[in-house]
Amino acid sequence: MTKIIGLTGGIGSGKTTVAKMFMANGIPVYIADEEAKKIMDSKEIILQIENVFGAEVVSNKKIDRVKLSKIVFNNPEKLEQLNKIVHPAVQKHFKDWLKNHTTVPFVIKEAAILFETGGHKHCDKVITVVAPQLLRIERVILRDKSDKDSVLHRINNQWSDEKKILLSDFVIENVDLEKTTKQVDDILKVLNKI
């Protein structure tokens, strides 16, 4: 039975960098955020989002992510409505993906809000990636060309690192790439024995 290893971390922690390190070691990695974006482009999901959020969030038969973000990121109820549409579809997609990876001992499921959605309950082990808040803010500003206030708002909408760490089996402090690589190697040694 293929084990599911959850990989999570707050925005700007560098969980995608860590996910790529696992991929480089030949481990199949499912990146939930990327898959969710693809799923949100499907006609069925676009229709559901349009029904809940109105026609103004759809332009050229695609979701206008900027408009939708403005609606959901300042309104926890709206964010929950969106999650109720997208997350079940992502879950189904992951289950189908997993069927193609039955010969490996484990896969990595990378998800930004693994704990917030209860996804950690379906994982055999969980890895949380952490980094100092100032570094996370710098990374996101560089990556998304956003401002400090909007990054802080997104950080505050996610569980704190402390809360995630309590429920995690492994914690990777992602500040220095060389040290992060070593931490990934050490975790792989443990995972290869389970």
Tens-digit pLDDT profile for residues 24-67: 999 999 999 899 999 999 999 999 999 999 999 999 889 998 88
Q: Would you say 70 is a known binding-site residue?
A: no
| 96 shares its domain with 119 | no
Of 51, 69, 100, the last residue of a domain is 100
Quote the DSSP letter at residue 169: S
Question: What's 140's domain CATH number?
Answer: 3.40.50.300
Same structural domain, 123 and 65: no
Q: What is the pLDDT of residues 63-98, one digit of tens each?
A: 998 889 888 877 889 988 998 999 899 999 999 999
The answer to whether 14 is a known ligand-binding residue is yes
Do 49 and 23 belong together in one domain?
Answer: no
Q: Is 15 one of the annotated binding-site residues?
A: yes
CA dihedral 178, 182, 184, 187 (to 10 degrees): -170
**Which pLDDT score is estimated for 3?**
96
pLDDT at position 79 is 87
Cα dihedral 160, 161, 163, 164 sign: positive
Residue ending a domain, choose from 68, 100, 132 = 100
- The predicted pLDDT at position 69 comes to 86
Residue 120: pLDDT band by 50, 70, 90 thresholds?
very high
Over residues 136-185, the pLDDT tens digits come to 999 999 998 889 988 888 888 789 999 999 999 999 999 999 999 999 99
Domain membership of residue 194 (yes or no) is no
- Of the candidates 118, 119, 190, 113, the one whose C-alpha atom is nearest the C-alpha of residue 158 is 113
In this structure, is residue 155 part of a structural domain?
yes
Same domain, 173 and 83: no
pLDDT at 175: 96
Whether residues 56 and 9 share a domain: the answer is no
pLDDT of 70? 84
| Residue 1 pLDDT | 87
Whether 64 and 109 share a structural domain? no
Confirm or deny that 16 is annotated as ligand binding.
Answer: yes
If asked whether residues 156 and 184 sit together in one domain, one would say yes
Domain that holds residue 168: 1-28+104-189
| 13, 81: one domain | no
- pLDDT for res 95: 95
**What φ, ψ does residue 8 adopt, rounded to 5°?**
-140, 175
Q: Are residues 83 and 110 in the same domain?
A: no
At which of 100, 121, 136 does a domain end?
Answer: 100
Q: Could you give the C-alpha distances from 25 to 19, 21, 108, 172, 183, in angstroms and in order?
A: 10, 7, 12, 17, 13
pTM of the model: 0.90
Q: Tell whether residue 78 is among the known ligand binding residues.
A: no
Structural domains of the chain, count: 2
- The average pLDDT across 114-136 equals 95
